[in-house]
Amino acid sequence: VSFGYEDVAPEEKTQRVGAVFSNVARKYDIMNDAMSGGMHRLWKDQFVRRVKPQPGEAILDMAGGTGDIAFRMANKGAEVVVADINQDMLDVGIERAMERGIDGLSWSCQNAEQLSYPDKQFDAYTIVFGIRNVTHIDKALAEAHRVLKYGGRFYCMEFSTTEWPGFKEVYDLYSHKLMPKIGKAIAGDEESYRYLAESIRRFPKPPEFEAMIRRAGFVRTRVEKILGGAVNIHSGWKA
Ligand code: SAM
């Protein structure tokens, strides 16, 4: 499997992705603003508008990190479980939730590839900027399908490379040259951001990823492109 520019054994990828997020956890939120010029907030708002969380619904926010998506869904009254493989990211999230006084959340350290939940527990499963870090994407999708109730919905937001001419060149230059430099300047960590940029380039393109979602058993799949496909919202239903 690929870890940034390198090919590594699957266990090594999981372990090195762990190190990346432990390194960036404390600076994660400020880095998102710096890297996206604040735009990630708008994409996350848009994503949650599509998910349409309802009061009392059980939602699993997988790879939920420091809680950005979960906070927005809890504010709509949903009962959200934030699950992430990295306890350092969750710890930052728990602190932020306390500071903001957000209720309706629980936190759980879990690998998306092998969830501890029984079948058919959740009304919705969300995963935002997380799936490309997972070592075996097909396993994570199968688990998402398993833990959803019938009629449950799957929503995933992930980066890809944009198709807009002109913007593509700017984006490539930005993500491969500038992102690692910003990472170095703000978080003192160039390598992690080099990995993050490269992992975007390596992630399956939207049609290919949509096919994987269908193979996991989801129906009525859709892709909504933002910025010419630089960011994509994938969705599907468990029938
Ligand atoms: N969803 C959050 C957001 O949008 O701000 C966090 C996204 S962050 C870029 C990616 C997260 O994926 C990290 O917190 C990382 O620990 C988590 N992650 C990576 N591999 C994972 C896995 N196999 N299972 C669960 N979480 C994983």
Per-residue confidence (pLDDT) for residue 104, from 0 to 100: 84
**Whether residue 129 has its Cβ less than 6 Å from ligand 1:** yes
Q: Which atom of ligand 1 is nearest to the CA of 65?
A: 14
**pTM beyond 0.90, yes or no:** yes
Q: Which atom of ligand 1 is nearest to the CA of 25?
A: 14
User: 197 labelled as ligand-binding?
Assistant: no
| Residue of minimum CA distance from atom 14 in ligand 1 | 65
| Residue of minimum CA distance from atom 17 in ligand 1 | 63
Q: Which atom of ligand 1 is nearest to the CA of 112?
A: 24
ipTM of the complex: 0.99
- Report the alpha-carbon distance of residue 156 to residue 76 in Å, rounded: 19
Domain containing residue 147: 2-237
Q: Output the DSSP codes for 162-187.
A: --STTHHHHHHHIIIIIHHHHIIIII
Q: Could you give the number of structural domains in the chain?
A: 1
What is the torsional sign of CA 116, 119, 121, 127?
A: positive
| pLDDT, tens only, 25-45 | 999 999 999 999 999 999 999
Per-residue confidence (pLDDT) for residue 4, from 0 to 100: 82
Per-residue confidence (pLDDT) for residue 163, from 0 to 100: 83
**Whether residue 156 has its Cβ less than 6 Å from ligand 1:** no
Residues lower than pLDDT 50 in the chain: none
Per-residue confidence (pLDDT) for residue 165, from 0 to 100: 87
Distance set, CA 137 to CA 11, 130, 215 (Å): 14, 10, 12
What are phi and psi for residue 110, nearest 5 degrees?
Answer: -150, 150
Per-residue confidence (pLDDT) for residue 161, from 0 to 100: 87
Kindly give the distance from the C-alpha atom of residue 129 to the centroid of ligand 1, in angstroms, as a whole number. 7
Residue whose CB lies within 8 A of the most ligand 1 atoms, among 133, 134, 231, for a mutation test? 133
User: 29 labelled as ligand-binding?
Assistant: no
- Helices and strands in the chain: count of H runs, count of E runs: 10, 9
Residue 169: give its domain's CATH number.
3.40.50.150
Per-residue confidence (pLDDT) for residue 61, from 0 to 100: 98
Per-residue confidence (pLDDT) for residue 52, from 0 to 100: 98
Taking each helix axis from N to C end, the angle separating 87-100 and 10-24, rounded to the nearest 10 degrees, works out to: 30
Kindly give the distance from the C-alpha atom of residue 172 to the centroid of ligand 1, in angstroms, as a whole number. 23
Per-residue confidence (pLDDT) for residue 30, from 0 to 100: 92
Kindly give the distance from the C-alpha atom of residue 137 to the centroid of ligand 1, in angstroms, as a whole number. 13
User: 88 labelled as ligand-binding?
Assistant: no
Residue whose CB lies within 8 A of the most ligand 1 atoms, among 36, 59, 86, 117, for a mutation test? 86
